[in-house]
Amino acid sequence: EIVLTQSPGTLSLSPGERATLSCRASQSVSSSYLAWYQQKPGQAPRLLIYGASSRATGIPDRFSGSGSGTDFTLTISRLEPEDFAVYYCQQYGSSPLFGGGTKVEIK
Amino acid sequence: QLQLQESGPGLVKPSETLSLTCTVSGGSISSSSYYWGWIRQPPGKGLEWIGSIYYSGSTYYNPSLKSRVTISVDTSKNQFSLKLSSVTAADTAVYYCARLAGEWLVLWWGQGTMVTVSS
């Protein structure tokens, strides 16, 4: 069974800074079936990235995903105030599983 | 615009069965393009996949919950439902219904409904 480990647990940054979030799988994720979701307090998550690097509809281009195999990264090039949230990765190539999340908080 | 609305009791007693329904509007549950799913999130914790269903009735269940979960679809009402039996306090969570691409990629989430298991 695949395990997804997200790091860091919390990322403290200022608006305008670059955020780099990691998602590491214990086994290779087939066909890069790796997604990223953003969740704000009291809201449902929303899909940001699928297929490791494809942005979902309406997602700003400051969000980018990369990686393959067991190591994946979500990068937010310049943090906007609305980007402070919790981010989850998910593998969906076999039995679906979410990572534990990374909280991006205002420094 | 697609809307997914969860409904059901907000409080369930231990050992009883949790039952939720997701009503789909702005789209057909019978679309061959999509699966439909349930995901939950305990308070202050991460996301857990419960299961998914196609309009034909084909299902996938999380192995850790499989013995207690039933997901069904009612195309005439444009709804799908979740039943989770023998609940305990560990089943207390926000339950989300969702539209999926393939079996497991969540394209669209409902707003979620909080279910508390307590006597």
Cβ distance of B47 and A90 shorter than 8 Å: yes
Q: What is the pLDDT of residues A29-80, one digit of tens each?
A: 987 899 999 999 999 999 999 999 999 999 999 999 999 999 999 999 999 9
Give tens-digit pLDDT for B96-113. 999 999 889 999 999 999
CB contacts under 8 A, A 24-63 vs B, are 33, 35, 37, 44-47, 50, 56
**What is the predicted pLDDT for the residue at A12?**
98
Q: Got the DSSP string for chain B? A: --EEEEES-SEE-TTS-EEEEEEEESS-TT-TTEEEEEEEE-TTS--EEEEEE-TTS-EEE-TTTTTTEEEEEETTTTEEEEEE-S--GGG-EEEEEEEEEBTTEEEEE---EEEEE--
For residue B62, pLDDT over 90 is answered with yes
Read off the pLDDT of residues B3-41 as tens digits, 9 standing for 90 and up: 999 999 999 999 999 999 999 999 999 988 899 999 999
Cis omega (within 30 of 0) for bond into A45: no
Indicate the range of A25-34, B39-48, B67-76 predicted with least confidence: A25-34
